[in-house]
Structure 1
């Protein structure tokens, strides 16, 4: 059984992996903007290019929070995604990293940040060759830190804001009230928030997912985990953004993973 006191400690210790849901105005959730945090090549992560499934893919080794390197063995890679466009006929390139798995990004984009905390909380950020101001994608998976999960979904999924307020004493965000204001939003079930908004001159396409409904924290029916992707792509790449979100939703099936997503 989880202890609320421990939750508060976890929220503080791993806050750097969970982008804070800051409140410019009471009840309003601040959405992600151009990412600035960076990881150092060779010190924090290392990249290796291999051929897999007939395509050139990039493997990411990460110097994790526990001090050990999490290395990807090319011989033990999972099958290439079945929905992947045919190699050589797509403007996408594929990265593979621990916890998040396969991650498609536009061809030529670069890894800016790779972090894995001691609890498995994971962030990978990619940016356009011309810098984050012209395009960025962030993949996040939070498999264990409950406070971080609630912070990540605060104002986006039902029940998250109220539980976060109880846990930390911070004011909850009202569901769907955000800054910037969403231009479109949909919640096809209790575990999925899909939305778009404008930030820094780019349209951000986002999917925020939970393994089971947040209400499962009360019933203890299933292990809660959170995964999300935010893709800010230049104009004319909306089809690529939609593919990224569709692939991510297949990789992390919302409301259908009672054992959570392992970190």
Structure 2
């Protein structure tokens, strides 16, 4: 399965094709929303199997809730990873949070920490490496959800996802698409948009039928460009767990110098 260019990039091309764009034509760059569309089907698009992880020394982690997520590769074959081939699971969670976490492993994502009891809703991996994994609370997305995204190769996807947040990304998209279009407007308007360094941004925003959303976005162009994002919606009562998940994502994937 090959991911198409994200819809926003296509819309930009259509705007440019009809004539010179004006500020009033500025498109909307929709921030990540609850995963209510494109739900994957268990058994068809992905399948789950118990995982038995080990730490860096090879010791079994018997007190960890872990699951393998198997998805199909570009040729339609299941990507199966046996327990013996799983990478070590380094648990950095404080002791008081460990019983609030489940761990999922997929070849495309590595180990993902997820709030306890949340289930996969979307598991999409394209032949170009574009990856979206979404999870929801047992009560549904209105109670909590998270979305983990990676765009490692499709430049149109990378710049379309980063525009409106990272300066210069929209101009790079225009150059790639050979268009001249207005900078998009973020929708909804973030309550917070902070550049943590030149490739990492922190956002907070609100959506209907969702807890408040906190997100970290990474646009790294120190080598081959890639875009990565974690969007997490959890109630205030789970703030400590949300803090841990976002901090772990930043430690693993963010940071490339000063703004």
Q: Specify the TM-score bucket, using the shorter chain as the normaliser.
A: 0.7 to 0.9
The structure with the largest alpha-carbon Rg is: 2
Give the equivalent residue in structure 2 for 1:48: 49
Give the equivalent residue in structure 2 for 1:160: 169
Deviations 1:211-237 (A, max 9, x none): 335xxxxxxxx2111111101112322
Distance 1:148 1:134 in 2: 29
Is the 1:211–1:252 contact (alpha carbons within 8 Å) kept by the matching residues of 2? no
Q: Which runs of 5+ in 1 are unaligned?
A: 1-12, 214-221, 257-263
Distance 2:81 2:219 in 1: 25
In structure 2, which of residues 181, 189, 193 is the aligned counterpart of residue 185 of structure 1? 193
Deviations 1:17-71 (A, max 9, x none): x574779961642212222221111111111112323312011101133322222
Give secondary structure in 1 for the equivalent of 2:123: strand
1:173 is the counterpart of 2:176: no
Distance 1:70 1:252 in 2: 24
Give secondary structure in 1 for the equivalent of 2:233: strand
Is the 1:114–1:124 contact (alpha carbons within 8 Å) kept by the matching residues of 2? yes
Distance 1:212 1:163 in 2: 12
1:33 is the counterpart of 2:28: no
Kindly report the root-mean-square deviation, in angstroms, between the aligned alpha carbons of the 2 structures: 2.5
Give the equivalent residue in structure 1 for 2:21: none
Q: Which runs of 5+ in 2 are unaligned?
A: 13-23, 54-60
Give the equivalent residue in structure 2 for 1:15: 4
**Structure 2 vs 1, CA of residues 167 and 101 (structure 1 numbering), >3 Å: closer, same or farther?**
same
Q: How many residues align?
A: 233
1:94 is the counterpart of 2:106: no
TM-score by length of 2: 0.80
Question: Displacement, 1:143?
Answer: 1.3
In structure 2, which of residues 118, 136, 142 is the aligned counterpart of residue 127 of structure 1? 136
Distance 1:43 1:28 in 2: 33
Question: Displacement, 1:210?
Answer: 2.6
Distance 1:129 1:210 in 2: 32
Question: Displacement, 1:125?
Answer: 0.5
Distance 1:254 1:15 in 2: 28
Distance 2:243 2:44 in 1: 33
Give secondary structure in 1 for the equivalent of 2:242: helix
TM-score by length of 1: 0.79
1:107 is the counterpart of 2:116: yes
**Structure 2 vs 1, CA of residues 242 and 20 (structure 1 numbering), >3 Å: closer, same or farther?**
farther
Give the equivalent residue in structure 1 for 2:243: 242
Distance 2:228 2:80 in 1: 21
Deviations 1:110-141 (A, max 9, x none): 10010110111111000111112321111011
**Structure 2 vs 1, CA of residues 87 and 98 (structure 1 numbering), >3 Å: closer, same or farther?**
farther
Distance 1:172 1:252 in 2: 30
Give secondary structure in 2 for the equivalent of 1:243: helix
Give secondary structure in 1 for the equivalent of 2:251: helix
Q: Which moved more, 1:118-127 or 1:130-139?
A: 130-139
